[in-house]
Chains A and B, each alone.
Chain A
Amino acid sequence: MANPEPIIIYPDTNILVSYSLGEKDKNFELAERLFQDVENGKYRMIISNFALMETLHALRAIITRIKYQELEDRLSQRDLIEIANSEEFTNVVNEESMKAFKTIIDKITSDSQHFSFEPNGMAYSGEMFSRGLQLLLATKGSFRVYRFRCQKCDSFLRCSNCNVNSEIVYKEANAPDLIHLFISELLQCKTFFTMDKYFASIPLKDQRIKVEVLAK
């Protein structure tokens, strides 16, 4: 008996980047399980230009943070400004992120069996944004309290002026999340896969696409 046609799915940017990072990402096993299903022919992934744009930006942000963490301790703001403005720092971040991005593009474009791409010149209707606004109006989001952390060494911090060590943050699926969802619908995907828990709270009434949040 012939194998059934693979189900067309849309991977969120976090899944694509996580799998490419491998063991270096905290949630890699979740992405790996999904990719095993892709490899086995259960699913076929369609990659949008929007996800690729976000992938490139995420890589630049990751590498900038890593390069910052690798700097020596006790640098003043003046020292950091000098480093940030230096040609060397700019070149390292740009070259490494581009190398990483090219590697991902090379792998996914070489594999016509498991990956498809959004066709060039695809038109997006304004209705998409109108629906997005309606959805955001119907949500209330949630509030989280986060402790201040040093981005360099991950230690907890306290404000020297207010003497507080945490902040209240508004958390909710946002415009880029909804754009991903609507693009996946336009690309006629059956399921949208993400590792971001905030997708679970999007009140999708018409269920044009199934959203699956991968969690441990």
Chain B
Amino acid sequence: MISEPQRLFSSLWSSIRESVTSALFPSNLLHPIETISLYIPAKLEENVALKADVLLKQTILRPIMEPKDHYQRLYLRSLVGLPTIPKAGADLASVRDLKGCISWVSKSKIDVTELIREIRDS
């Protein structure tokens, strides 16, 4: 059971809260934004959304890539100090670009399989 003073306090508090809310957030606050959005072409809106983040774009366009995979990419890139957004157009060429991308480490031929075997055996 709510006592009379509690009821009075609750109703007083509710009217204070309502007046403060209406003063800070008038009901027409979002009106200008809603009006502007009516005039933004759908194409522009789409482009802004797609260009906001190249990786996000890939998530949207490729249903094969799950959100977890997307976050893991971001995580790995930030872990090694790479920008989270790869170079524009890097996507399709990357598997090809990976070929010999670190060949500069050695002047002569090496046997990586043997070396990794040594590491695993040591």
What chain B residues lie within 8 Å of A69 (beta carbons)?
A: 108
Inter-chain contact B101/A39, CB cutoff 8 Å: no
Within 8 A of A (CB), among B66-105: 68-73, 75-77, 80-82, 86-87, 90-92, 94-103, 105
Which interface class (under 10, 10 to 19, 20 to 34, 35 or more) fits B?
35 or more
Given A98-B80, A105-B77: A120 touches B94 (CB 8 Å cut-off): no
Main secondary structure of the interface of B (DSSP, over half): helix
Given A54-B116, A120-B72: A62 touches B105 (CB 8 Å cut-off): yes
| Total A-B pairs, Cβ < 8 A | 166
What chain B residues lie within 8 Å of A23 (beta carbons)?
A: 100, 103, 109
Inter-chain contact A174/B80, CB cutoff 8 Å: no
Main secondary structure of the interface of A (DSSP, over half): helix
Within 8 A of A (CB), among B8-31: none
Given A119-B69, A120-B72: A25 touches B80 (CB 8 Å cut-off): no
* A24 interface residue (CB < 8 Å to B): yes
Chain A interface residue count, CB cutoff 8 Å, equals: 58
Inter-chain contact A57/B119, CB cutoff 8 Å: yes
Residue in A17, A62, A107, A113 with the greatest tally of chain B CB atoms within 10 Å: A107
* A32 interface residue (CB < 8 Å to B): yes
What chain B residues lie within 8 Å of A18 (beta carbons)?
A: 112-113
- How far is it, in angstroms, between the C-alpha of A56 and the C-alpha of B73 when the chains are bound? 17
| CB closest residue in chain A, given B62 | A112
Given A32-B99, A113-B92: A96 touches B62 (CB 8 Å cut-off): no
| A interface residues with partner B (beta carbon < 8 Å) | 13-14, 17-27, 32, 35, 38-39, 52, 54, 57-59, 61-63, 65-66, 69, 96, 98, 100-120, 171, 174, 176-177, 195-196, 198
